[in-house]
Amino acid sequence: MRPDFDPPREFAAIDLGSNSFHMIIARIVNGSIQILSRIKRRVRLAEGLDENNVLSQEAINRGVACLSLFAQRLMGFSAENVKVVGTYTLRSAVNNQDFLDQARSVFPFPIEIISGEEEAKLIYSGVSHTQPEKGRKLVVDIGGGSTEMTIGDNFIPLRAESRHMGCVSYGIRFFPNGELTKEHFEQAYFSALKTIEDLSEEYRQLGWNHVLGSSGTIKTVSKVLIANGYRDGFITEIRLKRVIDRCLKFDNLNQIELKGLIEERADVLVPGLAILLALFHTFHIHSMRYSDGALREGVMYGLEKQFQVNDIRQRTAEGLAEQFNIDPIQAEKVKETAIILFDQIKVWHNKKQIAELKAILSWASLLHEAGISINHNYFHRHSAYIVANSDLPGFDIEQKHLLATLIRYHQKSFKTTDIRKLNRFQHQDVLVLLRIFRLAVILNRSRQATHSPEKLRLNIFEDAWNLSFEPDFLIQNPLLLNDLEEEQILLSRIQLNLFIEK
């Protein structure tokens, strides 16, 4: 007989947005949420809302057809594990009960139509649970029918607001038949300014340290900027205006072609840009970063209250370590040695990133042996693949790539050209971090038999590293000496010097 065990809890979060319907299916594994699938369907519900806020039958049909598709994937789910929320278009429609009644015939789960304030708070939660920024942040989300703006501290929203301005509704209102002119853009822009002008003073008095944007318009702008050479992931006013100028060269929204712009977003990009520019000017935003987390993630994390922690990345890393049965004692030994070496580095090219680099080094120490569960041979490659291809809430793209890079090249030979230049981290800092990590792994290669040196000193002059121990330590640990000498040879092949005081 098979032993009794509790299977991982699976649950679904569904966002019935004005532009698209989204569904996430996930499960809890070792204290961490693991995404199983994401389904997105473009429904354009907001296009069916007339001037009297009556939702057309055509729009209702599109929404119900999508929910019928979702219902097939949710067969076997209990109602307590499915959370469905309707947003701007459904809360605005005077006949939303018609939609709910028709949906009930194909979709057996309850649908909750939420307020704008609750939507804003859920979006904030979704961003806070998936992004690394700590402290006070401003989170904005430009949807199809409304825009949400929330300021909060860590996981706690302080001020949340939703306003009637979205990329679909503004497209219909200010760009009839897709006609694109500078005058139409300015009308949309000034309308957005007027819609949020009363929030300016209060929001700016609260202040923030980080600005994050989520969902379609901001995701599209981020992709366009990256595709056109702005690879650091930040949206600034200057860059935003350059995208706007490019778009205004076209005569119709449907004609817009930009690198990084997918066809289905072309006709809602410019209306979204008008709103985004108004947000930048109203709140004096200097720069913004795109967040993968949004409303559906907020709904998902709301189903499990245990996930509110101070450091999302630590929760993510610990969950992955448990999933792959990583030896915690060995990981801690490597981490302690790595931090001892890290703290002796005096010269960093970007001093503002020292704490971030130190944290990533710690997580690399925790996760570098994940691939052993697959195969010991070349486990560093397996480990790097796992990290690079796993959903890691709390890690942005650059942090995730740096983490995978450290793990991939922490042993055996490598070339400096193997380390792809990152957009946010200095190449020389990455190389220093990798050399530290390689030494930390070597110094603990004997695992439980490892004898930690009482005196571990690292002196650096340009590219020459001098590693020293207490007298006779290496004589008493000949295997370690042999490993260090091998590292010395490997580094010398790429013009990096390591001197070992014996």
Residue 2 has a pLDDT of 46
**Residues of the chain above pLDDT 70, percent:** 95
Residue type, 390: S
Which tens digits make up the pLDDT trace of 81-129? 899 999 999 999 999 999 999 999 999 999 999 999 999 999 999 898 8
Per cent of the chain over pLDDT 90 is 62
Q: In this predicted structure, what is the pLDDT of residue 396?
A: 76
CA atoms within 13 Å, Cβ hemisphere of 471: 0
pLDDT digit string (tens) for 449-476?
A: 677 888 899 988 877 899 999 988 988 8
Confidence of residue 427 (pLDDT cuts 50, 70, 90): confident
Which CATH number describes the domain made up of 312-500?
1.10.3210.10
Contact by Cβ (8 Å): 144, 268: yes
Res 449: pLDDT: 66
Its sign, for the CA torsion 302, 304, 307, 308, is: positive
DSSP secondary structure code for residue 56 in this structure: P
CA distance 112 to 110: 7
Numbered ranges of CATH 3.30.420.40 in the chain: 10-114
- The mean per-residue pLDDT over the stretch 304-318 comes to 67
Residue 6 binned pLDDT confidence (cut-offs 50, 70, 90): low
**Rounded to whole angstroms, how far apart are CA atoms 169 and 49?**
9
Give the other-Cβ count within 10 Å of 254's Cβ.
12
Higher pLDDT, 283 or 321: 283
Rounded Cα distance between 282 and 194, Å, is 9
Render pLDDT for 363-375 as a digit per residue (tens, 0 to 9). Answer: 999 999 998 888 8
pLDDT band at 304 (very low <50, low <70, confident <90, very high): low
Residue 71 identity (one-letter amino acid): A
pTM of structure: 0.73
Give the span between the Cα atoms of 309 and 155, in whole angstroms: 9
pLDDT the model gives residue 3 = 47
45-79 pLDDT per residue, tens = 989 999 999 999 999 999 999 999 999 999 999 99
Given this structure, which CATH class describes domain 10-114? Answer: alpha beta
Domain 117-298, architecture per CATH: 2-Layer Sandwich (3.30)
Cite the residue boundaries of each domain of the chain with CATH code 1.10.3210.10. 312-500
In the chain, CATH 3.30.420.150 sits at 117-298
* pLDDT, the chain, mean: 90
Please write the tens of the pLDDT for every residue from 181-236: 999 999 999 999 999 999 999 999 999 999 999 988 999 999 999 999 888 889 99
Q: Is 484 left (phi over 0), alpha (psi -120 to 50) or beta?
A: alpha
State the Cα–Cα distance between residues 88 and 43, nearest whole angstrom: 14
List b or e across 384-416, with b for residues whose CB sees 16 or more CB atoms inside 10 angstroms: bbbbeebbbbbbbebbbbbbbbbbbbbbeebee
